[in-house]
Amino acid sequence: MGGGSLRLVFHVAYCKIDRTILQSATRLFSLLSLIQACYNFSKCLSHAELRSFFYPAGLAMKRYMTDQVRQDLAGKVVLLTGPRQVGKTWLSRNLFDEKETVYLNYDNETHRRVILDQSWSRDADLVIFDEIHKRKNWKRWLKGVFDVEGVRPRLMVTGSARMDVWRKGGDSLAGRHFLCRLHPISISEAVKETGIPPREALDRLMDVGGFPEPFLKGTKGYAQRWRRSHLERILKEDLLDLERVSDLKSVEVLVQLLSERVGAPVSFSSLARDLEVSPHTVKRWIGILESLYVVFVIRPWTAKLSKSILKEPKIYFYDTGRVRGDESSRWENLVACHLLKWVHYRQDVSGENTDLFYLRDKEKREVDFAIVHERKPEILVEVKTSESTMTHLKYFAAKTGAKKAFHLPLAPVTEPRQLGIVKTVDAAKWLGGLI
């Protein structure tokens, strides 16, 4: 090769290298510019807007029961239950690789045929049976599958109603399953999964409730639209699957009446007069709403459980955004949701004999909540702020032998205050330390 040809080769090679370097530099500059633009963009957005931007589907966050469910599936059938649209399906379908997960919904005709024929792939890591509890004798059927095939693939049942109330259940799955209840988002979850401060998480929960989709969207208007269709589906689909109720309109009115009476002992007779039905009917309807995870019932604690059942309960909503009335009612409901979630977590994960009650005596002294462990009050919690707050907490702490008593005002508390056993703490931080 002559000198001229050689110089030409080197020149072409140099130009190619030069262009490659230039292109790489251009790409790097563009990337740095994009990063700077994203940073500037993020500074202009609130946490709520960032959540809406990064979580458009409304459910794209890891839930607090994920690791426990994955662990339990190693040797048991897992029954994952909780309110409609609380995130059960999303959690279950994201436990393992999507290609190794079989999802079967009993409400789908094609899926139902696969279930009845038992023709799902045995090579999958996980088989999810959604709404299978609507099948007659579903527990006996699932028991047979488990006894013959074990947990390869792993087996999971999800549903929006309490699994223990379905009349179509059949034989028990005793010794073959673990129950896991999934609750709406709490302050602790919001802080861990979205990075927002505890106080902002509390404010967001007060505004739109803790169900993933409206919470991550973060706007009241969207939450109200979501809430309307949510209740409609529960009443027109889930309720009719569970019970024969001819007067759906009256049940809807009952939901409205209960949403106006959060925090006060509920009289079945009073509700019956308002609805022009019998107290027995009201009690049955409330039991249905409880089974469908619309409301939960908290009873007054007494040393004798039978007396507690006969006394007037308080009724709260899983969706705090559904509560009508003043801010104090929504606040009490939100605290009730956090405490029940913590109690259920202790029951489901650790097997603890723990439950949630309230305290009230003949003199009408009252404390909003009592965490009861092994049938003895362990922690007392009061959310109301009044002249009698500390007096009642101190009285019941001494009377019941509770180890701790907390006052949780809605307003921020910069410095915790203590009066005897009673401690006034910042609610956002204290609730954020639960689950």
Q: Could you read off the pLDDT of 256-304 as tens digits, one per residue?
A: 999 999 999 999 999 999 999 999 999 999 999 999 999 999 999 988 7
Could you tell me if 305 and 407 lie in one domain? no
- Out of 23-27, 179-183, 338-342, 372-376, which region has the weakest mean confidence (pLDDT)? 23-27
DSSP character at residue 290: H
Q: Is residue 112 part of a domain?
A: yes
Instruction: Provide the token pair at 362.
Output: 């003949």
| pLDDT (mean) for 61-65 | 94
127, 155, 181: which is the final residue of a domain?
181
Distance separating alpha carbons of residues 271 and 282, to the nearest angstrom:
7
Q: Is residue 150 part of a domain?
A: yes
| pLDDT value at 373 more than 70 | yes
pLDDT attached to residue 304: 75
| pLDDT (mean) for 336-341 | 99
Q: Is residue 148 part of a domain?
A: yes
Could you tell me if 128 and 173 lie in one domain? yes
pLDDT attached to residue 184: 98
Q: What is the pLDDT of residues 234-256, one digit of tens each?
A: 998 888 877 778 789 999 999 99
Distance separating alpha carbons of residues 173 and 319, to the nearest angstrom:
30
150, 181, 212: which is the final residue of a domain?
181
Q: Is residue 54 part of a domain?
A: no
Q: Is residue 73 part of a domain?
A: yes
| Buried/exposed 98-111: b ≥16 CB within 10 Å, e otherwise | eeebbbbbbeeeeb
- Residue 352, phi then psi, degrees to nearest 5: -75, 150
274, 298, 318: which is the final residue of a domain?
318
| Buried/exposed 78-95: b ≥16 CB within 10 Å, e otherwise | bbbbbbbbbbbbbbbbbb
pLDDT attached to residue 56: 39
Q: Which of residues 388 and 213 earns the better pLDDT score?
A: 213
| pLDDT value at 180 more than 90 | yes
pLDDT attached to residue 26: 54
The SS3 assignment for 154 reads strand
Amino acid identity of 117? D
Instruction: Provide the token pair at 229.
Output: 């269709």
- For the chain, the domain total comes to 3
Q: Is residue 189 part of a domain?
A: no
Residue where the block lists tokens 């006060």: 264
Distances (CA, A) of 50 to 40, 47, 97, 406: 13, 5, 28, 34
* Strands laid side by side in the 177-181 sheet: 101-105, 126-130, 154-159, 77-81, 177-181
Q: Is residue 283 part of a domain?
A: yes
Could you tell me if 303 and 332 lie in one domain? no
C-alpha dihedral (237, 105, 66, 381), degrees to nearest 10: 20
| pLDDT value at 20 more than 60 | no
Q: Is residue 76 part of a domain?
A: yes
The SS3 assignment for 39 reads helix
CB 170 within 8 A of CB 141: yes
| pLDDT (mean) for 200-227 | 96
The SS3 assignment for 179 reads strand
Could you tell me if 335 and 431 lie in one domain? yes
CATH code, 261 = 1.10.10.10
Could you tell me if 314 and 333 lie in one domain? no
| pLDDT value at 198 more than 60 | yes
| pLDDT value at 46 more than 80 | no
pLDDT attached to residue 374: 95
CATH code, 166 = 3.40.50.300
pLDDT bracket for residue 13 (50, 70, 90) = very low
Could you tell me if 109 and 138 lie in one domain? yes
Could you tell me if 381 and 295 lie in one domain? no
pLDDT bracket for residue 136 (50, 70, 90) = confident
Q: Name the H helices within 212-326.
A: 212-217, 220-233, 239-242, 248-259, 268-275, 279-291, 305-310
| pLDDT value at 170 more than 90 | no
Closest CA to 318 of 288, 293, 291: 293
Could you tell me if 73 and 172 lie in one domain? yes
Distance separating alpha carbons of residues 428 and 412, to the nearest angstrom:
8
| pLDDT (mean) for 314-333 | 96
CB 101 within 8 A of CB 121: no
CB atoms closer than 10 angstroms to residue 207: 17
Average pLDDT in the chain: 87
pLDDT bracket for residue 305 (50, 70, 90) = low
Could you tell me if 77 and 175 lie in one domain? yes
Chain-centre distance for alpha carbon 65: 10
Could you tell me if 357 and 311 lie in one domain? no
Write out the residue range of the structural domain in which residue 348 sits. 324-435
Percent of the chain scoring above 90 in pLDDT: 72
- Residue 222, phi then psi, degrees to nearest 5: -65, -40
Could you tell me if 427 and 391 lie in one domain? yes
Could you tell me if 337 and 411 lie in one domain? yes
| pLDDT value at 422 more than 60 | yes
Cross-strand bridge partners of residue 424: 407, 417
